[in-house]
Structure 1
Amino acid sequence: MSDEALRNAKGANEIMTRCFRLFCCATGAMTALGAAGCGSLSRLAGSRSPSGLGANVRAPAAIGSFVASVDVKRGTITFRPDQAATAGKAHVAAQQFGPGDRLTLSGTASLSNGMLSGSVQFISSNAYPLNDARVIVTSISDTSVSVANADGTSNLTGTKQPFWDYLSLDPKVPSTKLWQFNNPGAINFTFRVTVFANVWTYSLGDANPNTAVSFPDPLHGWIVGVGGKVLCTTDGGTTWQAQNAGIGAGVQLDGVYFANQYNGWIVGTAGTIRHTGDGGRTWYAQTASTDISVDTLRSVRFINSATGWIVGDNGLILKTNDSGNTWTIQGSPRDAKLYSIDFADANNGWAVGEGGTILHTTNGGSSWSVQTVPDPSSPTGARLQDLLLGVTVRDTTHAWICGANGRILFTTTGLSWNLISTGVNAALNNIFFIDLNTGWTVGGSQIFKSTDGGVTWTPKTGGSGAGLFFIRFTDPSNGWAVGQSGAILHSTNGGETWLPRQQGLTMTYSGVDFPDRKHGWLVGDGGFIRATADGGQNWSFQPSGTSNPLAAVRFTDALNGWAVGQNGTILHTAAGGSTWNAQASGTTQDLLGVDFVDSSHGCVVGAAGTILCTTDGGTTWVQMLSPTANALTGVSMVTVDLIYAVGSTGTILYTIDASQGALASWSQQFQPYADNLTAIRMLDANTGWAVGANARILHTVDGGGIWDNQWYEPGSNGHTNTLYGADFE
């Protein structure tokens, strides 16, 4: 990869289906609709998971549906959960909503001259912001009534429907919009709405570049990157979790700094500044004293929780003395792009950038002076004009700079600079010294270490082979380097050796399959696929080519496999997952289960009763007539003709003539329990098991003529968890 490309890039193995309760309001009165029979609704958390810089953003996903009743005389709009509409959204991952999270819609209405106007408030108690929140009207009970003031129309529900746009919603902060309906007959009516939103802007573990890292102490650390990515660890990097900073997927974060485990700042493209005071659980936008929305901010540095600086395009230098509540521009003698800034104390600091720019201040940035370095290759002694990308400062006289062409600069006086070449041609993107003698720098896929104050540098072993953009050490032993393809490297011996920590990421995996004792695959959020060839001792990531969440995977042998997921996604590999290719499913419904009886004959099931079958390995998929609109979440093939499927509200279907394609008939089997069923495994035409919510286990020995509950009643012995898989040898 070229230096320019590098600069551009720099500059739980379970389904976590979680439920939330919808709270309904009428003229300000809030009533919980759980114990009263309205139940809890599973929902699909929308996400943005870009595959790279400038990637497309996936559309918001449904997170809940309501039925609204309008009483013209009383002037009320009463909302309650729409169970029928949300049934198709069971059995999907929802990491950002927990059992205590809820949505609230409430409203009042008045009629004047055939126009019904309602003030409708929307509140989310989710711990993370909702992005691109839309409330779409899916139906109205009377054809004489129509939406009068929609913000637009959307086909997220399958057909174009009017919607009101609530944009971004911060947690527990109400947002109110005016809803208007043409109601010439002044009648009472009902209407249905579906709420769509993106709950997080980054799907954990993707291959987008990581650009910067900050550890305020050995346990707490943060990584930022392309696509609004923010990762956090609280256990020294053993596990990493995604945080939602409310940033669009088109934003590249280039800088992060935490003064302690609570107070941190992140910066990036489009003038992005975010601050957290609670360790990243919530993030808030900060702005400068002038418009910086077109500027890229590349580096941030604080000397305490109050005083800090940011640098970016056009010589931009910002300073705050109040934790970022106000950012003021400092005068810069150069309009060059600035890539890095560091301070020794409240007064003494350096900033570096393109064209050999080195800026120095001794008064906290009230004034900045230009420092120059002679170019040794110039016969006239002209100043060095290399791109300078990183600076690290230990005290008022000792600082180090890295940049293009393997350049290293260091000063021991704070005034003049010594030029060192590491002997590599690649740009050195970042540099860090833990004391006056020991430091590290990264560039390309290499890591270099110095133990003599930067005079000499030695390459170190290990790593991922990816381009590295940033390096930091928490102490003389423990260090972190991050870079392209989501690379996270960790050293525990002072940077002598480095090991990838990518596998330590906390992800949600929703499907697993082992065709034999050695070969296995996991699929999950963000389109991630991991594979093992040694029985699970080691796992590697495989490129899926999609960012859609994957719900299930099935391999017929060590080479041939299929994975299915959101928005009708079907992927196929004939090479053990080294390459995955998309297959045309012919549907946009979420696909939740897959099974193959051989390399040709397979069946996929999903939301809204979707059933697809193939007889040619997935080259073509035929949609079958389904007797249910319930979500189907598990499927088991006994033969090419005999197939079973299970789903929400206890649904069990079967067919004995699947090879007839679209002409195949599916029938529903009776069982007395209404728990959502998530998986089924039939050993043969007679014997099988189905499992699901409330630890439900059903067993049949006659092909489903009778399904018996095994072991215990739901809730007994404390068993109320949902079971997501069943298999027998």
Structure 2
Amino acid sequence: MVGANGHVLLADTDGRLQQAQVPVDLLLTAVHFVDSSRGWAVGHDGVILHSQDGGLSWSKQLDGNTINQLMTTWAEAEVSRLEAASAAAPDDEALSSALDNALFALDDVKAGSEPGPSRPLLDIWFRDAQRGWAVGAYGIVLHTDDGGQTWKYLASLDNPDRLHLNTVLGLGDGSLLVAGEGGRLYRSEDDGASWGPIQTQTEASLYKLLDWQQGQRVLALGFGGTLLSSADSGRNWQSLSLPVKASLYGGSELTNGSLLLAGQGGVLLYSQDGQNFNTWQGPSKSTWMNVAEVVPGQLALVGRDGLHKLPLAEITERLQ
């Protein structure tokens, strides 16, 4: 579990909690492990942390200052490339327009770098111990192919308004999905070198992508009870109707194959088929950010009130 002030908490199967050794005191927003030892976490100020011991201790791989440098290097190279191309073809209006956009992007990057490392990262996902992607505010996409020792800034995603990118997920067929503000959804089949925008027919911000039933279904959770479902690895999506309009922030597949989603106002949504959902709401109205089944039948909920443990039976017996 990761959260405010650099907190990284580990819970064993007996419920005992331990605070990890963390080199920052920033808000951490997401964590992902590829095996029982190696994991990464991201957060504000563009920080990326790495653990090689199951989350007991963490080291910093990247921060917003380095992201600023990566973005500046990219923008300056893009301006130089387009200046040379425009000089060779001065009557090419498309090149002239692209150069104007590149100059604006360079100015924008420089302005965004002035406050320092203010590049919040919001999610991270690794395909294996080497290849990973992180996304964040203002359209940031980062990629590593060496376990995070070095990172590259990806500018291939068409997001001229620099809308926030909230979540990233890779699928079993090798494709990569990114979703974010304003209902934006993107899909890549070449590790992020190029992206295709997806029509979702929603402008609701999307906060989390979930892989369900080993890739048979992909879900996108979002604002105001938005839930999108795809049965073809994210190429096409349909909107699912829910019994509540609470914003959804996280969820997981349980050991019995059912689905549990967590969200605003203490709402949990339970489904056995991914189509029909029942609502559970406890006495607290505090927002849940995520839920996990730590052992069969025992849930861990995390949110604004910290960590809460709950038997799954308490939910299934009181469904509405």
Deviation per CA, 1:186-213, whole angstroms, max 9, x where unpaired?
xxxxxxxxxxxxxxxxxxxxxxxxxxxx
Deviation per CA, 1:633-655, whole angstroms, max 9, x where unpaired?
xxxxxxxxxxxxxxxxxxxxxxx
Check conservation: 2:170, 2:177, Cα contact below 8 A: yes
Aligned to 1:341: 124
Q: Unaligned 5+ residue runs, structure 2?
A: 68-116, 285-304, 306-316
Aligned to 2:91: none
Deviating above 6 A after TM superposition, structure 1's stretches of 4 or more consecutive aligned residues are 537-540
When residues 374 and 338 of structure 1 are mapped into structure 2, their CA distance, relative to the original with a 3 A threshold, is closer
Aligned to 2:8: 273
Deviation per CA, 1:352-411, whole angstroms, max 9, x where unpaired?
1011111111111111111123537xxxxxx56110111112359422111001011111
Aligned to 1:501: 280
Aligned to 1:428: 206
- Secondary structure of 1:501's aligned partner: strand
Tell me which of 343, 352, 375 is aligned to 2:158. 375
What does 1:280-291 correspond to in 2, within 5 Å?
A: 281-288=15-22, 290=23
Quick check: 1:450 aligned with 2:227?
A: no
Normalising by structure 2, we get a TM-score of 0.66
Deviation for aligned residue 1:475 = 7.5
Tell me which of 169, 181, 196 is aligned to 1:392. 169
Check conservation: 2:176, 2:187, Cα contact below 8 A: yes
Check conservation: 2:173, 2:233, Cα contact below 8 A: no
Deviation for aligned residue 1:438 = 2.2
Deviation for aligned residue 1:327 = 0.7
Aligned to 2:219: 440
Separation in structure 1 between the aligned mates of residue 201 and residue 48 of structure 2, nearest angstrom: 32
Aligned to 2:77: none
Separation in structure 1 between the aligned mates of residue 58 and residue 162 of structure 2, nearest angstrom: 30
Deviation per CA, 1:407-449, whole angstroms, max 9, x where unpaired?
1111112122111131222210111123455200111212110
Check conservation: 1:344, 1:395, Cα contact below 8 A: no
Aligned to 2:31: 300
Check conservation: 1:437, 1:454, Cα contact below 8 A: no
When residues 437 and 420 of structure 1 are mapped into structure 2, their CA distance, relative to the original with a 3 A threshold, is farther
Deviation per CA, 1:458-497, whole angstroms, max 9, x where unpaired?
111233321111133348952221111111111100x211
Aligned to 2:263: 483
Aligned AA (1:394): L
- Secondary structure of 1:267's aligned partner: coil
Check conservation: 1:348, 1:360, Cα contact below 8 A: yes
Question: Highest Rg: 1 or 2?
Answer: 1
More strand by share: 1
Deviation per CA, 1:313-336, whole angstroms, max 9, x where unpaired?
011000010122321100354241
Check conservation: 2:120, 2:137, Cα contact below 8 A: yes
- Secondary structure of 2:130's aligned partner: coil
- Secondary structure of 1:347's aligned partner: coil
Check conservation: 2:40, 2:49, Cα contact below 8 A: yes
Check conservation: 2:157, 2:194, Cα contact below 8 A: no
When residues 459 and 489 of structure 1 are mapped into structure 2, their CA distance, relative to the original with a 3 A threshold, is same
Give the count of matched residue pairs: 234
Deviation per CA, 1:16-37, whole angstroms, max 9, x where unpaired?
xxxxxxxxxxxxxxxxxxxxxx
Aligned to 1:472: 252
When residues 412 and 476 of structure 1 are mapped into structure 2, their CA distance, relative to the original with a 3 A threshold, is farther
Aligned to 2:52: 321
- Secondary structure of 2:149's aligned partner: coil
Aligned AA (1:442): L
Separation in structure 1 between the aligned mates of residue 148 and residue 227 of structure 2, nearest angstrom: 32
Deviation per CA, 1:103-134, whole angstroms, max 9, x where unpaired?
xxxxxxxxxxxxxxxxxxxxxxxxxxxxxxxx
Normalising by structure 1, we get a TM-score of 0.30
Aligned to 2:314: none
Aligned to 1:645: none
